[in-house]
Amino acid sequence: MKPKRQLKFFKNKKGQYYLFTAVILIVYAMLILRPNVGLDNPNNKLEKMKQNFEIETVTVINNALISGENVTKELDLFTDEFVDYARLSNVDLELFYLIVIDEDKTAINKMDNYVEFVQINQTLEPAGSMNVNNDSIENFFAVNIEDDNEGTFRYLFNITNEPNQLKYVMRVKRGNNIQIIKNEI
């Protein structure tokens, strides 16, 4: 007889009311307790890339200096891997940087566009590098970097008396949207 009694409970109005209320409360609780899964903010992604690049770059430079390796070569290998990793993560990342080790200044272009050095009137092609040990690049240097959509941008960097320095421009493309970070380490 008990099974019939349970069936009666679900068929009468009082049982249906309690069942409906329980379902509503469960759905409400699940909506409140669900994890907040949203889209990644592109600005956060670029900021994380910047932080990772700066932390790892300092490590690469320090390790190369301590082990007596060619710092420019080691940094070039690292940035190739860093850009490849970013692209595997669906981030179209481009980098241009100038590394100063003692008196040696080397510019490396990991961008899809040309980089023009204003003071020495030379152009660095995409995926290229060059020594820029020139007296006209003593305290600062200026570069023009073309952009497919927006034209040409000029970036100014200070060169201090510190023996090891890194100046860079990081650019992330998302369709027609371009985000740029210029920084000096």
Q: What is the pLDDT of residues 37-46, one digit of tens each?
A: 555 555 677 7
Residues 70 and 158 in one domain: yes
Q: What is the pLDDT of residues 100-133, one digit of tens each?
A: 888 888 999 998 888 888 888 888 899 889 888 7
Total count of domains within the chain: 2
Closest CA to 143 of 133, 160, 134, 156: 156
pLDDT at residue 82 greater than cutoff 90 = yes
Rounded to the nearest angstrom, the gap between the alpha carbon of residue 40 and the centroid of all alpha carbons in its chain is 13
Residues 90 and 47 in one domain: yes
pLDDT score recorded for residue 14: 76
Percentage of the chain lying above the pLDDT 90 cut:
22
pLDDT bucket at 67, cuts 50 / 70 / 90: very high
pLDDT at residue 5 greater than cutoff 90 = no
Strands (DSSP E) contained in the chain are 92-101, 104-110, 115-117, 122-124, 129-131, 140-147, 151-158, 164-174, 177-184
Residues 13 and 95 in one domain: no
Residues 89 and 126 in one domain: yes
pLDDT bucket at 20, cuts 50 / 70 / 90: confident
Residues 114 and 159 in one domain: yes
Residues 76 and 111 in one domain: yes
pLDDT bucket at 78, cuts 50 / 70 / 90: very high
Residues 91 and 72 in one domain: yes
pLDDT bucket at 8, cuts 50 / 70 / 90: low
Residues 112 and 58 in one domain: yes
Residues 7 and 57 in one domain: no
Residues 91 and 155 in one domain: yes
pLDDT at residue 27 greater than cutoff 70 = yes
The CA–CA distances, whole Å, from 157 to 20, 35, 115, 118, 165 equal 67, 44, 14, 12, 11
Residues 94 and 163 in one domain: yes
Please give the model's pTM, rounded to 2 decimal places: 0.70
pLDDT bucket at 70, cuts 50 / 70 / 90: very high
Residues 47 and 23 in one domain: no
Domain that holds residue 15: 2-33
Q: Give the other-Cβ count within 10 Å of 152's Cβ.
A: 11
Read off φ and ψ for residue 137, nearest 5 degrees.
-110, 60
